[in-house]
Amino acid sequence: MGRAPCCAKMGLKKGPWSLEEDQILINYINTYGHANWRALPKHAGLLRCGKSCRLRWTNYLRPDIKRGNFTKEEEDSIINFHEMLGNRWSAIAARLPGRTDNEIKNVWHTHLKKRLPQNQQCNVSKQDKEEIMKLDLDATKSNQDAKQEQDPVNSPQCSSDVSSFTTSDNNENNCSITTSNTTNDHDMSIDINNVDSPENDLALDDDFWSEVLSSDNSDDTSGFPAIGDDYQIQIPFSPTVTEEGVLSASSLSMCDNMDFWYDVYTRAEELTGLLEL
DNA sequence: AACTTCCCCAACCGCCGTTAT
DNA sequence: AATAACGGCGGTTGGGGAAGT
């Protein structure tokens, strides 16, 4: 037994939204919120399905949406994140404040995809994609498990995100991961000072991360790393850095070392989550 | 000026995972 | 446990404007 389509009800309007409809939706959500999208159009007096209302709000009317053209920095970030995350537009959007997944998807298909050389457009193998999904699920589960254990009353209400890879001291082998959340700004640096041989696959293995997680570098006796701690990791190749200071890595090395970067990225998110507990 | 083609992007569709009953 | 409802996601479409002929 299949589920009925969202807009199966007769008489519901489809297509572009009018200014009047937009205003009704904005006024309603500003007054009552959007706890129940299904019921919202009926209560607001809109001849739309809840799904259409939700899309209009999340992709266009939300007050925190940044309108206008994408900056070069944003476009570079999308390219970099796409290399790491693939077509996971919502995950990419979460890393670009003010931009929606739909917008990012559009700009990718209309502009950015064309910039890549042909041999890089399909460079992510099925195996890589599966591995990414596995790593991301593991990281997500790890964060969720950790958050479920915390006291829901006394815990800060915040979300974490690794906003960018940046370099420090103009040293291309010296990389930090900048994080932020809604209540505090964190700069969690992972300095990469020692370039090791490409054969060194131990740089980011479980031993390293468990060592980081159990670090007692800080005064904090919880066993978790503290804000401001530096962790030395060995990097098997040199990343390149754009003029804006965003670590891009060459497309080739980024793709060749996708697991490496994805590990850095997801583990940094894990650490950030732990810092906030 | 008229027509065709191309491009952009808002919106839709269908699927999936989670939650409620 | 089974089913339906719901929110969220990624893929795709199609209307409309711009560019080309």
A110 touches strand B (CB under 7 A): yes
Neighbours of A131 (CB within 10 A): 15
Residue (of A69, A79, A36) closest to A54 by Cα position: A36
- Reduce the DSSP state of residue A117 to 3 states and report it: coil
A201 close to A183: Cβ distance less than 8 angstroms: no
Q: Looking at the predicted structure, is the pLDDT value of residue A104 above 90?
A: yes
How far is residue A88's CA from residue A82's CA, in Å, rounded to a whole number?
8
Q: Looking at the predicted structure, is the pLDDT value of residue A114 above 70?
A: yes
A60 touches strand B (CB under 7 A): yes
Spatial distance from the CA of A195 to the C1' of B17 (Å): 42
pTM: 0.55
Residues A191-217 pLDDT 10s: 333 333 333 332 333 333 333 333 333
Higher-pLDDT residue of A22, A187: A22
Residues A28-42 pLDDT 10s: 998 888 888 988 998
Higher-pLDDT residue of A273, A223: A273
- Please give the structure tokens belonging to residue A70: 């994408």
Residues A44-93 pLDDT 10s: 999 898 899 999 999 999 888 888 888 888 988 899 899 888 889 999 99
How far is residue A35's CA from residue A47's CA, in Å, rounded to a whole number?
18
A3 touches strand B (CB under 7 A): yes
